[in-house]
Structure 1
Amino acid sequence: MQGFETLVYLVCASMQRNGAYDEFEFTADDEQSLLDTLILSQWEDRAWKGHLSFDVTSCETKQILGGKNLTAQLNEEWNSYFLKEFERKAFQPSGGIIKPSYLENNIEDIFFCVTSGEMEKSVFFPITEAPQEGILVIVNINPVEYGHIFLVPYCNYQRTQCIARAIQLITNTASEVNNSSFRMFYDYFSAMNADRTYFQASYFANPLPVELLPTIPIFGTSTDEIYIQEVSDYPLNTLVFTSKNLKKLADIMGEICWTLQHLNTVFNLLISDCGTKMYLFPQVHLPVTGCHLHTWECGGYFVYSRSSDFADVCELEITQRLASVSLDTKGFQSLKKLCLGITDKLA
């Protein structure tokens, strides 16, 4: 990042200090935030200039018949290998550092940098050198949905970006966007991408199917700040963490994600409701096939590149795909025990 010039969106840090979000009244969608406006306007600008591989807004979508409201999209131009190509092009082979060549050759794809600072309010301004710590917001030219972007945390002073610190930055960004349609994704498939920490985000007009399902409380009372629930009647065993104390929620999820990475456990993280809700999707480790689901797929949203597959898709097929990567009962119980132990320690 040395010598890299960019625009910077500086998030006011005053509300984040010492868990001050306890008393913060969320007003999602009351009015559009500046950061939300900037992301959407920059994405529309790149779409208008032809930087995207296709017009995702013209893709046909449908709800699949059944009780789970699973969603399918037909996109014959979507490249299922694009994320691997992005990692290879954007990151150094080790250390998780963004390649200078990527910054130089893809400057038009980079919107701006998001960081935090001691200001009375959030501001947006040009800067001659990127801050030491922040998140690069980059357009995803192979979008799954409207406004699809990459969010790449970086630190100039360390080679690898710790997932716990990255989740702090990402959660603050989700809160600043303040749009309930904005959802963030994180995929962890193996130790090979542990130091290539990056998130994705896009806008969904409707909640993902998993967000509409009933849940079973397993941790939390009226006096607790953190609530943990288990999604019921879903083929992929899933936990939901909720809190209006964003700092504490990010601390707990950061510790859980770091532990799962240390154990080389495949998992996905969906961040919604302006950073106040996080879905944890553990997956079985499949070293032979390496066929793991992306976060939006874990949430019940699937993209099909062939019209015949799109026409024939049924709830049973997707349910079987979700169940094939789900932890069994014993493994899920062990995961719950681990998450409850970390939450009890930090909460």
Structure 2
Amino acid sequence: MAAPDGSQDSQEASYLLLPNPEDWEEQGIPDFVYGQKDLVGKGIQWPGNAGLTLDSLPRSRFDSALCSAWRQRVELGLFRYRLEDLQTQILPGSVGFVAQLNVERGVQRRPPQNIQSVRQEFDPEQFNFNKIRPGEVLFRLRQREPEGPKQEDILVLINVSPLEWGHVLLVPEPALGLPQRLLPGTLRAGLEAVLLSLHPGFRVGFNSLGGLASVNHLHLHGYYLAHPLPVEGAPSTPLDPKGYIHLLQALPAPGFLFYTSGPGPDMEGLIRRVCRATDYLSNHEIAHNLFVTRGAPPGPASSSAGLTGLRVILWARKSSFGIKESGAFNVALCELAGHLPVKTSQDFGSLTEAAAVALIQDCLLPQARVEEVQAALVALMAQEEL
């Protein structure tokens, strides 16, 4: 995939680039400061040749800053492997899976930590984001004069084993040692990161412990993918009278859909409701994955061109701990959304839609358990008016 920010680095983003390696610690972490006017809720669409090239798309300050700093870290050799253009195919069938061959990630990524519980406490002796090299930090996200609740600072780090171009981690206040459990301020930062990008394929997600999070230190993933995904416009039905929570029934996996048209009170309500839902799942030892993408409002199936707001999809799933080597891919946030990073050339060449669906659905909760979770989440949404 071509770099989403085009071939030229933005001069505006040059202050975020590293000086000589020996000066990294002395220079400190640069700030990327943004305001409400930088958050774009509407008017983002896929070009007519979506998936072929995105170099012609407009770029925001955020896109230029992230991509130019990320490219510099590539040239400095800070990643575990050099990410070249990934072989990509849209699997034949009705779902529209985007499969990519990423052998190096399957081989070179850091082994997951020893996790036994969705609610496991942070362990400073294990690997965490206070132990990374200074050059892995791109910048600090800092909101200028927030209109809503004060947003804690978020560090934007490279993922040294990237899924795709621009794969970063959003980490709130690493020194606090927060475990991998979603918090409102962290989710708000993820939503705002998507709104800061003019790229329709910049997505953000969260894996819980037991949901294939490999590090028990609070973080979100963000990355660019030059293709629409099934969840952007998949049909849904409301589960409560207020329309706070919807059931996304389409393949590859049924999930709970939350939607906001953009910044403001509506988004704050969504953050509150989503975190109530993830708190319930964590408290009941139910692993989960979450995906944030620009998309269509809830309702009937919609063209992916209708990216009128933000879709937040939450999946409850079976817990999975330890290293998972079987199968063409592991099932976490991007796979549930329809993006399949495949580990071997053999699997990439033979993978079918039916096989992908079967692998994903094998990781989901039994239907009876799903119905229990659904009833509990709907009850939680009813408390919004209390």
TM-score interval for Structure 1 and Structure 2 normalised by the shorter chain: 0.7 to 0.9
Distance 1:144 1:195, change over 3 A: closer
Q: CA deviation at 1:33?
A: 2.2
Q: CA deviation at 1:146?
A: 1.5
Structure 1, residues 225-280: CA drift from partner, whole Å, max 9, x if none? x5432222425221211112221111111221122112121110001118721011
Distance 1:212 1:263, change over 3 A: same
Q: Name the CA distance, whole Å, in 2 between partners of 1:326 and 1:202.
A: 24
**1:160 pairs with 172, 178, 184, which one?**
178
Q: Please name the residue that 1:109 is paired with.
A: 136
Q: CA deviation at 1:47?
A: 2.3
TM-score, structure 2 normalization: 0.71
Q: CA deviation at 1:329?
A: 2.0
Aligned length: 319
Q: Please name the residue that 2:209 is paired with.
A: 189
Give the structure with the higher percent helix: 1
Q: Name the CA distance, whole Å, in 1 between partners of 2:82 and 2:152.
A: 33
Q: Name the CA distance, whole Å, in 2 between partners of 1:294 and 1:81.
A: 18
Q: Please name the residue that 1:26 is paired with.
A: 42
Structure 1, residues 124-152: CA drift from partner, whole Å, max 9, x if none? xxxxxxx9931111112221112111111
Q: Please name the residue that 1:135 is paired with.
A: 154
- CA contact under 8 A between 2:114 and 2:321: conserved in structure 1? no
Q: CA deviation at 1:183?
A: 0.2
1:93 equivalent in alignment to 2:113: no
Q: CA deviation at 1:53?
A: 3.8
Q: Please name the residue that 1:145 is paired with.
A: 164
Give the structure with the higher percent strand: 1
Over the aligned positions, Cα root-mean-square deviation in angstroms equals: 3.7
**1:208 pairs with 186, 204, 229, which one?**
229
Distance 1:175 1:97, change over 3 A: farther
Q: Please name the residue that 2:251 is paired with.
A: 234
**1:8 pairs with 31, 37, 45, which one?**
31
Q: Name the CA distance, whole Å, in 2 between partners of 1:73 and 1:193.
A: 21
**1:282 pairs with 301, 316, 333, which one?**
316
Q: Please name the residue that 1:341 is paired with.
A: 379
Distance 1:119 1:201, change over 3 A: closer
Q: Name the CA distance, whole Å, in 1 between partners of 2:95 and 2:86.
A: 22
Gaps in structure 2 of 5+ consecutive residues: 1-24, 46-56, 116-120, 296-308
- CA contact under 8 A between 1:229 and 1:241: conserved in structure 2? yes
Q: Name the CA distance, whole Å, in 1 between partners of 2:318 and 2:208.
A: 12
* Matched ranges for 1:64-103 at <5 A: 64-79=91-106, 82-84=109-111, 93-94=123-124, 98=128, 100-102=130-132
* Matched ranges for 1:247-258 at <5 A: 247-258=268-279
Structure 1, residues 314-347: CA drift from partner, whole Å, max 9, x if none? 1121111111111222211222222222223236
- CA contact under 8 A between 1:94 and 1:195: conserved in structure 2? no
Q: CA deviation at 1:80?
A: 5.5
**1:332 pairs with 370, 373, 376, which one?**
370
Distance 1:200 1:63, change over 3 A: same
Gaps in structure 1 of 5+ consecutive residues: 121-130
TM-score, structure 1 normalization: 0.78
